Amino acid sequence: MSSPDDASNRNPSIAICIPTHGRPDLVKEALASVLEQTHAPSEVLVSDDCGDPKVRQLVEEVAATVPYPIRYLHCTDGPGQAQNVNHCLRAVCSDLLLLLHDDDLLFPRCLEILIQPFRRDPGLIATYGRQLFVDNAGREVPGLSDPINQHHRRTPDRVGVQKCSLCAAIIGQFPNNGYLIRAEVAKGVGVDAARGAALDRDFAIRCASSGPFFYTGELTSKYRLSDDSIIRGKGRDTDDSAFMFARLLEELCPLDAECKETIAQSYKEILPSAIAQAAQLKRPKAGWQWYFSKEHAPRILTRGGLHRAALLLAAMFNR
């Protein structure tokens, strides 16, 4: 006779978590992509930190049409993405969970694809696939998806269990959402608001210590380049994603040589953006430290390097 643990491994339950900030039109699209899943979730949770009655009504109407629970949660833990996501994670009752930001979408076979590796290997921590990049209207952006997926090493030669979960997290192979992860791990790690716009990368890095990641190689989610986002909308002037990621990389001290090389390469790649953001954020001291670092020194006399120096000088005199 099979034990409960064996049954759970063969057919783990799945929760889909959708944090939102009072955006009913986007939530409606996200939920529509959930309803199209060829493998139905066990529960769906929509956490709204606005308490928008339109979102609540939408969720209740959709919930009345499906055989699994769809719950509306009003997050009152405080404003911000991290608090809202954590509020949603804590309410999960399933074995696995998938985080879906309200402006993104799932392909119909997403859950079907992502659950299969868990059934074969109970030791996995998370599974994920490729992302399709779409515009604000949900239309594919030509020529964008393949280069970005390749940059993050979501390539055919990487399909399967990742040799190093930490490396997969650092290079961004582990996506910002649309991944399937063990709920107990996600809850235990949580999202750290102190990481600013780099909180998704920080989450992946901290999850990496719990066990192996599996990359499926298949398209599973759509990432929307929303007009109203932290880097394209009202938050553009305070975007600190590169700044915080550089700080995060400086804190990592792995013993593995491959990890050290991955960190060094990622640090070198992110510094130009981190310096520009330091100027934008009125943090010229940090910017100058990076500017004259050995990693950035070869770029000082380049056109880009000179432009970054001008940005830092402007930040010093316009504080």
pLDDT of residue 231: 46
Segment 207-251, tens digit of pLDDT: 999 999 999 999 999 999 987 654 444 556 689 999 999 999 999
pLDDT of residue 230: 47
Buried b (16+ CB within 10 A) or exposed e, 59-82: beebbeeeeeebbbbebeeeeebb
Which domains, and CATH codes, for the chain?
A: 4-224 (3.90.550.10), 242-317 (no CATH)
pTM (2 d.p.) = 0.92
d(CA 213, CA 125) in angstroms, rounded, equals 6
| DSSP β-bridge partners for residue 17 | 45, 99
Segment 250-283, tens digit of pLDDT: 999 988 899 999 999 999 999 999 999 999 999 9
Is the CB of residue 316 less than 8 Å from the CB of residue 284?
Answer: yes
Q: Which range is least confidently modeled, 4-13, 22-31, 160-169, 241-250?
A: 4-13
| DSSP β-bridge partners for residue 181 | 97, 126
The pLDDT confidence band at residue 5, using thresholds 50, 70 and 90, is low
What's the whole-number average pLDDT of the chain? 93
Length of the chain measured in residues: 319
